[in-house]
Amino acid sequence: MGMRVLFASAEVAPYSKAGGLGDVAGSLPRALVDLGHELLVVTPWYARLGAAARPLWIGDVDVPFAGDGVRVGVGTLEEGGVRFAFVGHPSLSRDRLYGYADDAWRFALFARAVPEVARRVGFRPDVVHANDWHTGHLPVVLARGWHLPEGFWHLPSVFTIHNAQHQGVSDLAETLYWLRLPAELAGSFANHYGRYNALKAGAGFASRVTTVSPTYAQELTRPEYGYGLDGAFRSLEGRLVGILNGLDVEYWNPATDPYLPAPYDARRPNDKAASQVALRERFGLETGLPVLASVSRLVEQKGIDLLVAAGPRLVNAGWGIVILGTGEPAVEAAALSLAADNPGRVGVHIGYDEDLAHLVYAGADAFAMPSRFEPCGLSQMIAMRYGTIPIVRATGGLLDTVEHGRTGFLFEHATADGIVWAAARALDVGPGTDRWRALQLDAMRQDNSWRRSARRYEALYRAARSAP
Ligand code: ADP
């Protein structure tokens, strides 16, 4: 029988997105609807919503918050069988999603508003799914909060960690006061070295805790990856499970992709050549070079600095390199100077460019992800679907989705040497050879669709309901 699932997220593509969380919140609810469930997605009403979305304002609700409570607006729309409720408040209606001094307050208010908003739209959930620190308060409020609408007290909850680096740390007493939680929770799992930690709180109070790949679930329990919460994650023992994210295989489909000069897929892989020509022309690369590409945020996590450091050796080995990305100024500058030193061999475009990203995925031979950590990663799945062989660090979701020597190449160490080593293994096989084509076909045929993952969330919701 279908369940009613309340899904709360600070990002939902295509309305708002800063990273993988937005993609998941955009895709998983739809996949669950396809399995016969009823979904309400509650998300902030930012000043500028993507896809020119215009929620219908249906009224205000009073949220029990801090001293006097706070009034928020509610907007709704429906898309692809999923109902969306947007929470409106001046503190949320800003240009950027995050990065403000009052983020802790903003998202405490958002999370605390979720039950009231659900009641306002007449949605009585069977289970609540919260995501990342912004909604980590929700499992606590459901388990221990006061002033909840009827039917919400002790609702089973699932909490998903998309990235443990961001934890939502704030003053302990103040945050409990905002959320109107009992003061004795100062001694609970929400406390991390004397401060309120929203990510830890969500993990501690939820009925079930997940993260976005089986390997990241294990890594989180180690000091190198836990960002100070490894002990907390260890104490969850069997309660923390990894479920891989899926890929939107309709949007990312080389057979129908409007940004490519010619469609192709595993049945007619040779037409990828047109995209390869177009990519080389776009970046002024010499013909005949195998191209190793990256489409990425240029931040420490992604290790693009390592790719740039390896650049001269990769060029010597015979690679052409393409980098599309934006982020930390130092990494941007280093990438640009690598391109300036290697005209015809290295092309760099600084910026966020969705159209160009499609051409890079299609037109490259190999795709580099030297991530220092990678909870799941979508880019490697996109690359594989486009017959572009991933060369990735053996961490998190990269280890769970790429098989060394069959669908890609893995390296152990987050160093320039690591990339150079794995790229040499790729050249041993050699783009254009029969063995390379076998890799491409295996990569293109891998099933990374959401359907499989949605089934696993479904099973988890059922488990949470029968034993919260
Ligand atoms: P993360 O969510 O950590 O950034 P993922 O691999 O899960 O990493 O997803 C990244 C997504 O963002 C991919 O769809 C990738 O193509 C896209 N992306 C990243 N940087 C850019 C860019 N500069 N231009 C276009 N798309 C980008």
Instruction: Encode pLDDT of 38-52 as tens digits.
Output: 999 999 999 999 999
Are residues 376 and 244 in contact, defined by beta-carbon separation less than 8 angstroms?
Answer: yes
Checking if the pLDDT of 239 tops 90, the result is: no
Closest residue by Cα to atom 24, ligand 1, is: 352
Q: How confident is the model at residue 433 (pLDDT cuts 50, 70, 90)?
A: very high
Give the Å distance between the CA of 341 and the centre of ligand 1. 26
SS3 171: strand
Confidence of residue 230 (pLDDT cuts 50, 70, 90): very high
The proportion of the chain whose per-residue pLDDT surpasses 70, expressed as a percent, equals 100
Q: What is the pLDDT of residues 250-275, one digit of tens each?
A: 999 999 999 999 999 999 999 999 99
| 24 phi-psi bin (left φ>0, alpha ψ -120 to 50, beta other) | alpha
Strand ranges inside 80-207, DSSP E: 82-88, 127-131, 157-161, 169-171, 191-192, 195-197
Check if the beta carbon of residue 360 is closer than 8 Å to that of residue 322. Answer: yes
Q: Which two tokens stand for residue 447?
A: 């099933």
DSSP per-residue string spanning 135-170: GTHHHHHHHH-SSPPTT-TT--EEEEES-TT---EE
What is the total residue count of the chain? 468
In this prediction, residues 433-446 reach a mean pLDDT of 97
Instruction: Check whether 238 has a pLDDT greater than 90.
Output: no
DSSP state of 286: P
- Secondary structure of residue 230 in the 3-state scheme: helix
Q: How many Å apart are CA 176 and CA 318, to the nearest integer? A: 58
Residues 172, 161: Cα–Cα separation, whole Å: 21
Residue 328 Cα to ligand 1 middle (Å): 15
Task: Give me the pLDDT at residue 19, please.
Answer: 84
Distance (angstroms) between ligand 1 centre and the Cα of 162 equals 14
Instruction: Judge whether residue 237 has pLDDT over 90.
Output: no
Question: Is residue 378 lining ligand 1, measured as CB closer than 6 Å?
Answer: yes
- Exposed e or buried b for every residue in 360-370, given b needs 16+ CB within 10 A? bbbbbbbbbbb
Neighbours of 465 (CB within 10 A): 14
Confidence class of residue 164 from pLDDT cuts 50, 70 and 90?
A: very high
Both tokens assigned to 83: 């109902």
> 22: which DSSP letter?
H
Q: Is 297 in the pocket of ligand 1 (CB under 6 A)?
A: yes
The alpha carbon of residue 67 and the mean position of all alpha carbons in its chain are separated, in whole angstroms, by: 35
Mean pLDDT, residues 144-168: 96
Which residues have C-beta within 8 Å of that of residue 466, sequence separation ≥ 6?
A: none
Q: What pLDDT score was predicted for residue 291?
A: 98
User: Which of 245, 247, 295, 395 maximizes ligand 1 atoms within 8 Å of its Cβ, making it the mutation to test the pocket?
Assistant: 295
| For residue 343, cis peptide bond before it (omega within 30 degrees of 0) | no
Confidence of residue 181 (pLDDT cuts 50, 70, 90): very high
- Shortest-distance Cα residue to atom 22 of ligand 1: 352
DSSP letter (8 states) at residue 404: B
Query: For 269, what's the count of Cα atoms within 13 Å in the CB-facing half-sphere?
Result: 19
pTM of the model: 0.95
Amino acid type, 137: H
Strands 70-79 vs 56-63: parallel, antiparallel or unpaired: antiparallel
For atom 19 of ligand 1, the residue with the nearest CA is: 296
Bridge-based pairing of strands 127-131 and 157-161 is parallel
Ligand 1 pocket test, pick from 378, 381, 448 with the greatest ligand atom count within 8 Å of Cβ, gives 378
Q: What is the pLDDT of residue 213?
A: 98
Question: b/e for 88-121, b at 16 or more Cβ within 10 A?
Answer: bbebbeeeebeeeeebbbbbbbbbbbbbbbbbbb
Taking residues 450-466, report their average pLDDT: 96
- Write out pLDDT tens, residues 201-211: 999 999 999 99
Per-residue DSSP letters for 250-278? TTS-TTT-TTSSS---TTSGGGHHHHHHH
Q: What is the pLDDT of residues 57-93, one digit of tens each?
A: 999 999 999 999 999 999 999 999 999 999 999 999 9
Q: What is the mean pLDDT of the chain?
A: 97
CA of residue 379 to ligand 1 center, whole Å: 6
| Ligand 1 atom closest to 349 (CA) | 23
pLDDT tier, 141 (very low <50, low <70, confident <90, very high otherwise): very high
458 versus 239: which is more confidently predicted?
Answer: 458
pLDDT of res. 77 = 98
**What are the structure tokens assigned to 102, written together?**
């009052």
